[in-house]
Structures are given as C-alpha cells and as structure tokens.
Chains A and B, each alone.
Chain A
Amino acid sequence: MIQDRLRTRMGWLHAWSGFVFGLLLVCIFASGTIAVFDTELTRWLQPEVPPSATALTDEALEETLPTIRKLLERDEKPFITLPSERDPILRVQYHDGHEFLNIPFDPGTGQELAARATVGGTFFYDLHYSLRNGDTGIIFVTFSGLMLLIVLGSGIIIHLKELIPDLLVLRPFSARLRAWLDVHVLASVPFLPFAFMMAYTGTFLHTRSILPPVSYLASINAAITPVAVRAESPALQKEKTVVPALPPLSPLLHDAEKVVRAGQVGFILFLPKNILISRTDASGPARTREHVDFSYDGHFIRHVLLTTPLTRTQQVMEGIHYVRWGGAGMRWLYFISGLATTIMIGSGLVLFLMKRRRLSGGRVIFRLAEGLTVSVLVGFPLACSGFFWGNRLLSGGSEQRTQEEVTVFFLIWAASAVWGMGGCLMKWRVQVWRSELGLLAVLSALLGPLDLLTRSGGTVFHTPTVFAAVDLIALCVAAVAFQIARRLA
C-alpha cells in the first residue's frame, strides 16, 4: 500500500518534472552528443583542410608566431593545438566569447591553409554547457542536470518491479502508447549507468553555479550583468597590452616534453605574462592539465601539477565527462549512449502528451505544450541540419561568416518553433509534425550529396572517414524522420 502510494507520487514527479525540464534536456543531451565529436566536426566544417597531413616539424611551429602575435595584439589569449590522432592539422585557436575559432596550418611546412572561418564543432559544445548564454546558461544547464537525476531516480522507483523483465521488451507493432512506452524503457534502462554518470559528472563540474560559495544575490547579479558592462567598470579597465617578443617555440616544446613525456603535449597557450605548454587531455582518464610555464624570454618558470584529493576528483570527473582520453571506440560508445538518452527524454515528452491528449487535448495550454515539443524534438535537429547546410552554402569570404552560421541555426530553429506552436494552436497538429519531419528528412538526406558537391576531391567511393561518418549519420536521421512522418496518423 505504501509502495503503491510512493509509486503514484513518483509518477507525478517523474511526469511533470520530466516534461518541464525534458524540453531543455533534449537540447542539452542532443548538443552534448554531437559535441562528443566536436574536433571531427570542425574538420567536416572546413572541407578545404586536407584530411591527412605530414608530421609536425619545428619550422612549422615557428611559422605560426606572426599569427599568434596578431592575436595577442587584439588582447586574445591564443593557443596552438598540436596535431593529434583526432586532428592531424596544426591549429592556432582563440575563444571569441562563445566558440573556439581556429586558423589551420600545414604541420609539415607551417603554411597557413586557406579555409573558411567557422564556429566549428565547438558551437555544439558551447550550446551544450551554457546554451550560448554564459553564466546564466550554465545555471540553467546545471539545474536541469540536477533535475535529470531526480527524474531518473523517480523513474527507477516507478519501474523497479519490472526493471529486469522489461529490459528486452520492444513491441513496435503494438498499440501506439504501448510501443512508445517500450521505446522509452528500452532507451532508459540499459543506458541508466551512462545517463546517471553524465548527469552526475555534468552537475558536479558546475556545482558552483547553483551552490555558489558567495551569497546567492551577488552570484545572480554577476550572472545577469552582461560581460560588456562589467568590462566597462573602471576597476576592471586594463591598459593596452604590450606584446613582448615571442621566443622560438620548438626549444620550449622539447623542454616541456622532457617533463610531460614526448608526444604528450596537447597545446601551447599564450597568456599576457607567460607561455603554458600543457599536457593533452587524451593522455589519461584524469584531465590534469599539467603544464610547464615559460617566460616570454624563453626561461623555465615552473611545472604545475595539482594533486590534492579535491583537484584529483575534479580531474577524474572532467575526464569521464569529456572522454577525450578513451579513443575513437569510447567516443562512439558515448555518442550512441547520448543518442539513446536523448531518445529516452524525447519519448518521455511524447508519452506525456499522449497520456493527456484525450482529457486535455483541446486546451490551449496542451496545444502550446505540443508546439514546444515539436520545436524541440524536430526543430532542434532541423536547426542542426540547417547549420551544416549554412556552413557549406554561405560564401567563404565574408568576415562575419562565423556569426552568420550561428544566425542560420537560430533562424531555422525560431521558424520551426513559430510554425510548431502556431500550427498546434490552430489544431494542425499532424500537419505540423509531418511538415517538420519531412523537411528534416529532406535536408538530412541531401547533406551527403551537398558534401560531395561542395568539397574538392570528394567522390562517392573514396570519402575520408570524418566526412563519410557525418554524411551517413545524416542519412540515418533522414530515414528515421521519414519513417516517423509516414507512420503519423
């Protein structure tokens, strides 16, 4: 009796908190899933950069210095990412406030590669952890992560008795509600370890945003004050940076390699006072960011490796969440698990609407909720697809190109939301779902041909892995969208 009452209460909590936060969590998980391959996506988004390159030479490293100097003069904090298994290209990168923009160089000769400016795969990374809204976005994302833990916990309590017997049950040809419930359970139960791990580590990493060490008022004030206003305050105004002469990098790199081992250097960061040569995140499960610091006159300053229990915990949590150390196989596991968790949340949203349609289907609030669901479940992938199209179709010479890519993404998403909510309010529910799913199927199916047409040297029978993987996944998305649209009543 007590158990039944508990299950009923947990059912209410699971349904309502799941729906309200699920709308946001779908976007967070979908963008996080895509961001697992952010480096590879950047390569797809810059088709002018060759898919393979020769090994790094000392001369090539020195050739990047003029670019570094220019960026330092603009008060940026540039860094050089060295060629790696994931990306064979030498890149100079800097943060524009949202994404890491990059300038690619040939690692053999040091010649700058003429490639389109793009926000790259880090666009999805920024969207994932801050919703492109800085500290305010991080608070929302972290709180949603916390709610996901509650939703998962309540879901387990509801389903505890049937957890094992239902593990392998899928009846796609049963009644629609039954079929969706099976999909929801199948995408949840086997992937629970992953969902818990990601929600826990993700929330842990930004705990300070929801449990700040200072008063809430001060923390909220800092979060909602725009960065530009803060920068204008007299206390924070800085003098113009004077860029010192840059030392040759290869001797510093070789010195650093003696400390962190050869082949273990990930990037070289240029700060106003010193140069940090840091260990790659791919070196192990703990994201230590161990670094060797040099002054601008080329002298060794210090070796930094934080080893307190607290920092070690933080490093392991980051390592587990970012999975930059596990190799391609592990990243695919994360990608598939992330996709399943997104399906779990998405199918939960659909179930929430299905169960209430008979009683509340005519209400304005219900139709608005359905419009929001369409905008998230179909609008978000539609915007992602549009982003890839925008990347290939926007002219390469435009100075504001990176911003245009982002604008394309949000314009498509906004249009989808307006049509989704407007259509549902006008009781064109089926037409709304069908039209958006149909458009998603067309855009995704044609992404492969678009890739082949807009990438020099690409043929159907010889496509480098990075490009082939993106095109094939887009084709799978198209097939799923088409199938769902076809089966809609």
Chain B
Amino acid sequence: MIVLCSVLWIVSLSVQAVSEPRMLRIARREAVAPALTVRLMRWVSLVGLLLCLYQRPSTALFVWLGSFSIATVVVALGWAWRYRGVQRVRRTGGGS
C-alpha cells in the first residue's frame, strides 16, 4: 500500500510541478495551460487515501502522509536530475 500510495502521490506531485511557475523557471520551460484531464490528475492521490482507509483505517493517515513525504523527495530529486544540465549552464553563465 505504501508503494501504491507513493506512486499516486508521485503522479499528483509531478502534475503539480509541471504547472508550477517556479519549477518551470528552473527547468527553463514555457508554461502551457494543461488539459482538464491533466489538471484532474492532481487529485489522484486522494484515491490512495481511500484505498488506505479501506485496507487498514488505523494506519491510513500515517501511510498516506508518509508516502506524500517520500514522493515529494522523489519528484524533487527527479526534477533536479532531469534539469541538472540547465542549472549547470546557468551557474557557469553559458546560458545567459
């Protein structure tokens, strides 16, 4: 359940990252208005909460919040890894 919840959170947070102006600036990407289905994906993590409640209510909140924390680190690391080149160029002044 922890793995499933983490995956759902990763999807949700990735969609959030794609539509966050600050994250797009870091990646030097143009902001585009996401489609409705993509915007709805932000709430997919709520499915995880429901599944957690269904499986074991006493641990649901712990698992859901814990997997959010892990997913955040995964998305942040993934984003940093993906756009490390852009940041390096900016640091050395090559891109300006």
Q: How distant is A150 from chain B, measured CB to nearest CB, in Å?
A: 22
Chain B, interface SS category: helix
Provide the bound-state CA to CA distance between A173 and B65, in Å.
29
Provide the bound-state CA to CA distance between A325 and B62, in Å.
12
Q: How distant is A327 from chain B, measured CB to nearest CB, in Å?
A: 8
B51 at the interface (CB under 8 A from A): no
Range, interface on chain B: 20 to 34
Q: Which B residues are in CB contact (< 8 Å) with A170?
A: 76-77, 79-80
Q: A333 to B16, Cβ gap below 8 A?
A: no
Q: Which of A173, A190, A326 contacts B72 (CB 8 A)?
A: A190
Q: Which B residues are in CB contact (< 8 Å) with A186?
A: 72-73, 76
Q: Which of A175, A325, A330 contacts B91 (CB 8 A)?
A: A175
Contact with A along B58-84 (1 / 0, CB 8 A): 110011011111101101110110001
Q: A168 to B66, Cβ gap below 8 A?
A: no
Provide the bound-state CA to CA distance between A325 and B13, in Å.
30
A337 at the interface (CB under 8 A from B): yes
Q: Which B residues are in CB contact (< 8 Å) with A285?
A: 58
Q: A340 to B69, Cβ gap below 8 A?
A: yes
CB contacts between A and B, total, < 8 Å:
78
Q: B66 to A169, Cβ gap below 8 A?
A: no
Q: B20 to A168, Cβ gap below 8 A?
A: yes
Q: A190 to B1, Cβ gap below 8 A?
A: no
Q: Which of B17, B22, B66, B91 contacts A337 (CB 8 A)?
A: B66
Q: Which A residues are in CB contact (< 8 Å) with B66?
A: 194, 330, 333-334, 336-337
Provide the bound-state CA to CA distance between A159 and B31, in Å.
25
Q: Which B residues are in CB contact (< 8 Å) with A191?
A: 69
Q: Which of B65, B75, B91 contacts A193 (CB 8 A)?
A: B65
Q: B22 to A173, Cβ gap below 8 A?
A: no
Q: How distant is A164 from chain B, measured CB to nearest CB, in Å?
A: 8
Q: A174 to B87, Cβ gap below 8 A?
A: yes
A167 at the interface (CB under 8 A from B): yes
Provide the bound-state CA to CA distance between A174 and B63, in Å.
33
Q: How distant is A186 from chain B, measured CB to nearest CB, in Å?
A: 5
| A190-B73, A330-B59, A333-B66 known; A173+B13 contact, CB < 8 A | no
Provide the bound-state CA to CA distance between A186 and B79, in Å.
13
Known: A167-B76, A173-B87, A329-B2. 14 other contacts (CB 8 A): A168-B16, A168-B23, A168-B76, A170-B77, A172-B84, A173-B84, A186-B72, A186-B73, A194-B69, A325-B58, A330-B63, A333-B63, A333-B66, A337-B66
Q: Chain A residues in contact with chain B, CB under 8 A? A: 165-175, 186, 189-191, 193-194, 284-285, 325-327, 329-330, 332-334, 336-337, 340
- List the 9 closest pairs (A to B, CB-CB), nearest first: A333-B66, A190-B72, A170-B76, A190-B69, A170-B80, A173-B87, A165-B22, A168-B76, A329-B2
